Amino acid sequence: MNDRNEINAPAPPGLISSITEGFNAVASHVYLILPPMLLDLFLWFGPRLRLKTLLEPWLDRYLALMNSVLGAEAAEMLAGMEELWQFFFEQFNLLSILRTFPVGLPSLLYNAGAGETPLGTPPGLEIGSFWALVLLIGAAILLGVLAGAYYFFKIANTTRPTGERLSFRLVAWQTLQSLALMGILLILFMLIAVPASMLISVFGWFSPGLAQFAFFGLIVVLFWFLVPLLFSAHGIFAQRQNVFQSILTSVRMVRFYLPNTSLFFLTLLLLGVGLDQLWRIPPASSWMTLVGIFGHAFVYTGILAASFAYYQGGLRWMQAASRQRQSLMRA
């Protein structure tokens, strides 16, 4: 009986087979690349929402205060800080927040700044009110997560044996779960990064070498915590799990059943980041950027579909392995 279970048990998901399945799914459903393409086109040709008018007076007051406290000795440092902030004011576009994480649309041009386009310079709009800034940030995050939830749902459907009907209620529920996931990951990151940054600063007072060693230690700790959370969003869209169930499933799958997950995601990361260097070769003022937008949308949609294929295969294998272990314990 146990031998029959072992023969019929699904094989663990493979790296190449999952990537192939993901890109085949996108090739069969090319419309899936439209949401990230539309986002990039909007960020390319749309208006730039800037914060210079709102934040520059605060920056001037801060620099004046620091100059009175530190004196002429810090003049060069403060001048460099002012130049850095002025560059930020010129390049930052508040609409880049539409590219939300971890659930959101991939974007090639989310950090494109204030570059030219083939149609000229896009209009720049200044935000003059703090409450307008808060409302715009909230609206951009909500819209970005909503679009990302729809995008994730459609991709998850292509890797399921049977598809699921789309409904407003389902997308709204998945959007709320995605927002909760974003908040949980942000809190976890702050709980690790803030104390670690303070510790690195303390080490820096004694020795730059100790600070560098502590920094690499922080990277290792973050890696150890983040890898089991890589599938934390997948259960929401593939299994209709709430955010806590999805996180627990991700941790359980990676920790106990799929230790090679880090290699799988490292391969996807190298594929995406490596090709990004190709897509960014044309300047923003060239129509060839359209090729980069198309290529980026296709590759990252394929990468996300591959991760869902890997997740679904890993879930089937984990459940089969769990059943086999229970049957062996009963025997």
Instruction: Output the CA angle 234-165-27, nearest 5 degrees.
Output: 65
The pLDDT of residue 295: 96
The pLDDT of residue 1: 41
State the DSSP code for 114. Answer: T
The pLDDT of residue 37: 97
The pLDDT of residue 196: 76
Question: Is the Cα torsion angle 235, 241, 246, 250 positive or negative in sign?
Answer: negative
pLDDT digits (tens, 9 = 90+) for 270-324: 999 999 999 999 988 899 999 999 999 999 999 999 999 999 998 888 888 777 7
Ranges under pLDDT 50 in the chain: 1-7
State the first-to-last Cα distance of the chain, in angstroms, to the nearest integer. 10
Q: What is the DSSP annotation of 200-227?
A: HHHHHHH-HHHHHHHHHHHHHHHHHHHG
State the DSSP code for 97. Answer: G
- Count of residues making up the chain: 331
State the DSSP code for 103. Answer: S
The pLDDT of residue 58: 86
CA distance 20 to 158: 13
Task: Kindly list the domain boundaries of the chain, sorted by start residue.
Answer: 2-51+92-330
The pLDDT of residue 331: 64
CA distance 122 to 289: 16
Three-state DSSP class for residue 129: coil
Encoding tokens for residue 132? 């307008």
Measured over all CA atoms, what is the biggest interatomic distance in the chain, rounded to whole angstroms? Answer: 83
The pLDDT of residue 71: 66
CB 254 within 8 A of CB 227: yes
The pLDDT of residue 10: 67
The pLDDT of residue 145: 96
The pLDDT of residue 323: 77
Who's near 252: CB < 8 A, 6+ residues apart? 318
Global pTM reads 0.87
CA distance 233 to 83: 39
